[in-house]
Amino acid sequence: MNIQGITKRRLPYPYKAALTISSDIDSTNTLHEFLTIQEFLNTKNQTIMGEGIGLEIGNSFYPVRNDHGVFALISQNPADKEVIIDLIKLGYIDTIHSFNTAKNREEIYGIVNFLHDNECKIDIWVNHASVSSNIGPQKSNLGDKVDSECYHTDFSIKTLGYKFVWMYEVTTIIGQGRPLNLRSFFSSLDKKHFFQSMYANVFKEICKYFLSYIYWKYADRKHNDLTYPVQISDGRSIFKFIRCDAFYKGPGVGDNSAGLVSTLREGIFNELKRTQGYMIVITHLGKNAGYPYISAETQEGLRLLEREYRTGEIYVTTTSKLLKYYVNSQYLKWNVKIENGEKYIQIEKITDPVRGSFIPSVDDLRGITFYTNDPENTHILIQNKEITDIVKNGRDFTNQKSIMIPLKPLPPLEYKMKEYKEKGYF
């Protein structure tokens, strides 16, 4: 949309694309393993894998597990609870991976209240395997079925705050939020494994596209969006989202620590930038060959991703921050007024099918960028009140100048990791 010569940029300046790594907590069995992985991902500390990459790569958690001694919010190890609550509040854990072994509504209610009492809000729900608390149209998913003993969405959505739900959808197409074309279906082709990749990633993705016109399971594949507003069984509205896996044997085969490198490669990054797309990469970092938990090849892939981020090529952040930026930008209503040579971008509201209509805060608008030929004389206002925390940018790769509401990084974790080490947690 172009209003008075001003357009909204697709992504925060200066980035060409956006990527997040969405790791399910499966097989991360100990606090030691979890913290070793996160220290490498989230800090610049010297770790067993060398200097950390210091990126905003989040993780998920299980509220409860029946396995004795296994990492979870409610477990035999009180330190698990401490770390999970800390990192939820700091933004590095943003996903609840179902209610896992919780068997009924009463048990689920207790978990939700426990999180609420500890002031924990969660932005994202991810279904796990075939547990009964899952959400979605499959018959085995009972979390949103009113007559089920595991029905919980009537209170869990409101209390925990999640608006984004993953319902098993995985694509091999690189770059969501962009229209499909023929090239899209070949975007994850791995030339080193040409025939396997052609069958598992290209041929099967094309089949799913055609099935989308006749089979509900693939109905959204024709749009290639990142999120879709849907109504779940009890009538509530949520955003479901899609994740991506470029492993040459197809989704679900290499969604582990070693297989992650198949998606973290230069060709994938170049394709993502070419489309100016968004990508949520699915993995399970706990599915690994043991200490130090991230393979040497995947470490190199992660360092390549770090370079893409630090050179201003690919925006890397947590799944929560990326999804919120995406929907807030997509549903943002704004206009422009010109007075005495000054341009005023008036933020009206955000209106979407899930959250309704509301006046956004400055934090809701972090990263929103507008192209303007005169940043020095362009202003951004919310309800006629000017935002003073503004960054004026030079020309980007499109040769356009811009003005933006700056991104706000998560709090650094170096101090927390030092504290956890002093306590002997890892």
For the segment 176-207, what is each residue's pLDDT rounded down to a tens digit? 999 999 999 999 999 999 999 999 999 999 99
pLDDT at 216: 87
For the whole prediction, is pTM greater than 0.85?
yes
CA-to-CA separations, 205 to 172, 209, 217, in angstroms, rounded? 7, 6, 13
pLDDT band at 241 (very low <50, low <70, confident <90, very high): very high
Say if residue 50 is exposed, middle or buried (CB neighbours under 10 Å; 0-12, 13-18, 19+): exposed
pLDDT at 3: 82
Does pLDDT of 2 surpass 90?
Answer: no
pLDDT at 329: 98
Does pLDDT of 53 surpass 90?
Answer: yes
Does pLDDT of 217 surpass 90?
Answer: no
For residue 17 the two structure tokens come to 């694309």
Asked whether 164 and 124 are in contact (CB, 8 A), the reply is yes
Does pLDDT of 424 surpass 90?
Answer: yes
CA-based radius of gyration for the chain:
22
Asked whether 271 and 191 are in contact (CB, 8 A), the reply is no
Does pLDDT of 4 surpass 90?
Answer: no
Does pLDDT of 6 surpass 90?
Answer: yes
For the segment 99-152, what is each residue's pLDDT rounded down to a tens digit? 999 999 999 999 999 999 999 999 999 999 999 999 999 999 999 999 999 999
pLDDT at 116: 98
pLDDT at 385: 96
